[in-house]
Structure 1
Amino acid sequence: MTTTADLQLVKRMNRSVLLRLLRAQPGLSRARLAGESGLTKSTVSLLVRELIDEGWLSEAGATVADGLGRPSTPLQIDVGVRALMGVEIAVETVRLVCMSLQGEVLHSQSHDLTDGSPAGVCAQVARMAAAAHAKLQQLGLQLSSIGVCVPGAVDDCTGVVRFAPNLGWRNVSLLPALEKAFAAVGLPGVTVQLQNDADAAALGEYEFASSVGQEGEDPLIFVNCDVGVGAGVVLNDRLFTGAQGMAGEIGHTILQLDGPLCSCGRRGCAEAFFGSRVLEREGADLPRAAAFFGVLLQNLWVTFNPRAIVLGGKACADHKGFAQAAFECMKRHADDAGMPAPDLRTARYGELAPAVGAAALALHEYLRPLQPDAKARRARAAQVLAAT
């Protein structure tokens, strides 16, 4: 027997199909949507009306003729109703962006991190978010979600930051603290999500690609080279985070036995060779650091065989030629193997890449209803804990 839950899931799936089609091909009519999606015209008409009423879609002002000469109304993602907010908690800085559904930066701000304790960070993020929310209200926009990212391993089932050595955090229950801080400053009760910074940045590059929903860049790897070094991996149209959120912690892969001391307590980690603080030291050997970086990129390439590798972070922004030298090193490794290297480029949103990706978190889940969303994952984790 069909249940109500089954019908609701089918409905969410059908809505997501229409939204993804219109993100990739703006201007499709209802009839074209029916043809592209395989849904009936009546189903498409009903879902389109709901999506318009909820501020996801809008109609163009003028009709156009379809292939048979009949008038039809082009549809598009409505960028005038909903907005997404993303926050990056970095080691020294907090960055915040507000994004349209199509990836336009509507507002951004950046402040030095004033208090690195979890409570201090939550309070600062909440103040910045409240100010940004006021800006959105002035623009007549509705805040749909808030995403936050941190430089460490995040268990996205529980909202716990497992390991963030450059912040001095271990097993910090950050997501509930953020939700409490947002409520304290009067922010609306929207979805709040937490993710690793490199994972978020990878998602921003993927979700807000120049041709949106561009599965042509799957798999995609984003390497964030800041004080710490991390990688985000999009694989099979979703983030690959590992069993406990530790996937992509490449800054703590060991490149040289008994090498320089790393912040994690081990020696020879990638971060100890080309983290931004290492490169800022007097007498830093940038060519050698770029060579080590190129080795790490080649290791990622042969592990995941991505279509694209994107570089971002302070080390790449502050040291001109560093990213290019690492790319050239990796290309030499590819040439030696007689294989074509993946597409190599720097971050589309520059230093805002992790914050932009954090803003994309809820949108990414909304467009993929078969994946358990953040709320469902947390509820399941709570049940497991209660049973043990």
Structure 2
Amino acid sequence: MLHNPHNATDHPPAMPVTGDQQLLKQLNRMALVRQVSAQPGLSRAALADVLGLTKSTVSQLVRELMDEGWLTESALLVTGEVGRRATPLHLDPGRLALIGAEVGVDEARVLATNLLGEVLDSRIIDYDDAHDPASCIRLTAQAMVRQARRLARASFPGGARRVLGLGIGLHGAFDEHTGVLRHAPHQGWRNVDVRAQVEHHFTGTVLQGLPLYMQNEANVAALAEFEFAGEAVGDPLIYLSISYGVGAGIIVSDRLLTGVNGFGGEVGHAILQADGPRCSCGRRGCADALIGLATLLGDEAPSYAALERLYKRAADGAPSTCAAVAAAGRQLGILLNNLWAGFDPMAIVIGGPALRLGDALIGPARATLAGYADAAMLTPPELRTSHFGADAVAVGAAALARYRLTRPLDLQTMERRAVRAA
């Protein structure tokens, strides 16, 4: 029986045996990895009980996973029982690596993590021309190759590591089935075949042929919290990203909700105000147009320098800026209420560059959400900020790789969808 490690009280139905023994073995291997990730320190016997596998099967799979660098043992536990003492198992932080990249609006960020999501190395890449997708993608892919080469060196801190998989987070509506970024409004990109370009730049390098996954930036940032936060993060979980625009990553029952075409979570285009200001999508009153930093910049074109000037005006108490930020915060509170009503999450995590505005933005949002909760006589979900700060999307891209690799059935479904899309 396979088991959902994020909800230890559930008992999912038995997986039908299809005759594909290799798939069944991989399902069980990755179920072990996910369970140890969710409950570090479990013994082989405890894993057998939780997952409904025989002790001999678990022992064999654990031995393989330890040889490959997925798992490691710690000191023996004295249980007081007669026989072999229990040996706690943990994810091995020292031998494998994941590479994650954010193709941002103003710059790219490339980093490596271990299996626990701890950042091993991080680089920021300046673009030559932020409006040229081919150039930005090339620079990002080349930086990922350089990152892999650094990881392979014996001189790398902690020793050489093997790269398991790669992830990329993209700003805009990304079609995971085809690898095409349909629209990135704050970059001016449309219908960019990101996957084909990245794979072209990986050809003949150490990254050629490695598993490569891509998703919208809010989705991967949600996975950073879900996979790597190191505590009971809650499920359902919503990650709300506030940058030039607004997006959400939504996880329900251990699954990232991406929608039919991969565009799930585009809450920036939820209507908050009938006949409100016009949004870049053509609608009026979207969350993007009421909350996004592009709106708070006014007549200034989105850029890193423009954002720094906005943060300074807010910190200096400029009246017009503070009023605009507070108004955006109240609209944010409305959006939070709508997400709460729609998904009843255990937690909503807020991330993105807008966090630099601090309580000037989040304070009005909390007050608005609390007002709705009081009116309904309900307790609102936990509201907190991202664990990973400016690295949230790049760490999330690495988390996307771990998330996909440890869910083999998801990969089969994705492959079938890609074939149909082609």
The normalised TM-score by structure 2 is: 0.84
Q: How many residues align?
A: 378
Hey, what's the Cα distance between the residues in 2 that align with 1:38 and 1:264? 50
The Cα shift of 1:269 comes to 1.9
1:14 aligns with 2:28: yes
1:42 aligns with 2:59: no
The Cα shift of 1:378 comes to 4.1
> What is residue 209 of structure 2 aligned with on the other side?
189
- Which one-letter code corresponds to 1:182 in the other structure? F
Hey, what's the Cα distance between the residues in 2 that align with 1:63 and 1:254? 57
Question: Are the counterparts in 1 of residues 149 and 206 from structure 2 also a CA contact under 8 Å?
Answer: no
Hey, what's the Cα distance between the residues in 1 that align with 2:250 and 2:293? 21
**Alpha-carbon displacement from aligned partner over 1:223-270 (angstroms, at most 9, x marks no partner):** 100011101100121110111122111112222233323222333221
> What is residue 131 of structure 1 aligned with on the other side?
146
The Cα shift of 1:291 comes to 0.6
State the identity %: 44
Q: Select the residue among 113, 116, 121 that pairs with 1:102.
A: 116
Question: Are the counterparts in 1 of residues 178 and 421 from structure 2 also a CA contact under 8 Å?
Answer: no
Question: Are the counterparts in 1 of residues 41 and 88 from structure 2 also a CA contact under 8 Å?
Answer: yes
Q: Spell out the pairing of 1:295-310 with structure 2 (5 A cutoff).
A: 295-310=334-349
Question: Are the counterparts in 1 of residues 222 and 251 from structure 2 also a CA contact under 8 Å?
Answer: yes
Q: Select the residue among 257, 268, 286 that pairs with 1:269.
A: 286
SS at match of 1:321: helix
**Alpha-carbon displacement from aligned partner over 1:69-108 (angstroms, at most 9, x marks no partner):** 4334332211111111111112112112211111211112
- Which one-letter code corresponds to 2:182 in the other structure? R
Q: Select the residue among 123, 132, 149 that pairs with 1:117.
A: 132
The Cα shift of 1:344 comes to 0.5
Hey, what's the Cα distance between the residues in 2 that align with 1:17 and 1:184? 33
**Alpha-carbon displacement from aligned partner over 1:282-318 (angstroms, at most 9, x marks no partner):** 7331111111111111111111111111100111224
Question: Are the counterparts in 1 of residues 177 and 421 from structure 2 also a CA contact under 8 Å?
Answer: no
- Which one-letter code corresponds to 2:343 in the other structure? F
Question: Are the counterparts in 2 of residues 279 and 286 from structure 1 also a CA contact under 8 Å?
Answer: yes
1:229 aligns with 2:246: yes
The Cα shift of 1:161 comes to 1.3
- Which one-letter code corresponds to 2:414 in the other structure? R
The Cα shift of 1:383 comes to 4.4
Runs of 4+ in 1 over 4 A off after TM superposition: 1-4
Question: Are the counterparts in 2 of residues 310 and 346 from structure 1 also a CA contact under 8 Å?
Answer: yes
Q: 1:262 to 1:3 in 2, by over 3 A?
A: closer
User: RMSD of the TM alignment (CA)?
Assistant: 2.2
Q: Select the residue among 174, 187, 193 that pairs with 1:173.
A: 193
Hey, what's the Cα distance between the residues in 2 that align with 1:3 and 1:296? 44
Hey, what's the Cα distance between the residues in 2 that align with 1:295 and 1:179? 41
> What is residue 408 of structure 2 aligned with on the other side?
369
> What is residue 65 of structure 2 aligned with on the other side?
51
Q: Select the residue among 390, 394, 400 that pairs with 1:355.
A: 394
Unaligned stretches of 5+ residues in structure 1: none
- Which one-letter code corresponds to 2:418 in the other structure? A
Question: Are the counterparts in 1 of residues 167 and 401 from structure 2 also a CA contact under 8 Å?
Answer: yes
Question: Are the counterparts in 1 of residues 138 and 197 from structure 2 also a CA contact under 8 Å?
Answer: no
**Alpha-carbon displacement from aligned partner over 1:123-173 (angstroms, at most 9, x marks no partner):** 110122122223322241111111001111111111111222112222222
Question: Are the counterparts in 1 of residues 111 and 394 from structure 2 also a CA contact under 8 Å?
Answer: yes
Hey, what's the Cα distance between the residues in 2 that align with 1:4 and 1:26? 32
1:341 aligns with 2:350: no
Question: Are the counterparts in 2 of residues 313 and 351 from structure 1 also a CA contact under 8 Å?
Answer: yes
> What is residue 64 of structure 1 aligned with on the other side?
77
Hey, what's the Cα distance between the residues in 2 that align with 1:186 and 1:371? 26
The Cα shift of 1:370 comes to 2.9
Question: Are the counterparts in 2 of residues 258 and 267 from structure 1 also a CA contact under 8 Å?
Answer: yes
The Cα shift of 1:371 comes to 2.2
Question: Are the counterparts in 1 of residues 107 and 125 from structure 2 also a CA contact under 8 Å?
Answer: yes
- Which one-letter code corresponds to 1:229 in the other structure? V
Question: Are the counterparts in 1 of residues 76 and 88 from structure 2 also a CA contact under 8 Å?
Answer: yes
111-120 vs 156-165, greater mean Cα deviation: 111-120
Q: 1:2 to 1:130 in 2, by over 3 A?
A: closer
The Cα shift of 1:58 comes to 1.7
> What is residue 295 of structure 2 aligned with on the other side?
278
The Cα shift of 1:329 comes to 1.3
Hey, what's the Cα distance between the residues in 2 that align with 1:335 and 1:109? 45
Hey, what's the Cα distance between the residues in 2 that align with 1:276 and 1:83? 34
Unaligned stretches of 5+ residues in structure 2: 1-15, 299-312, 314-319
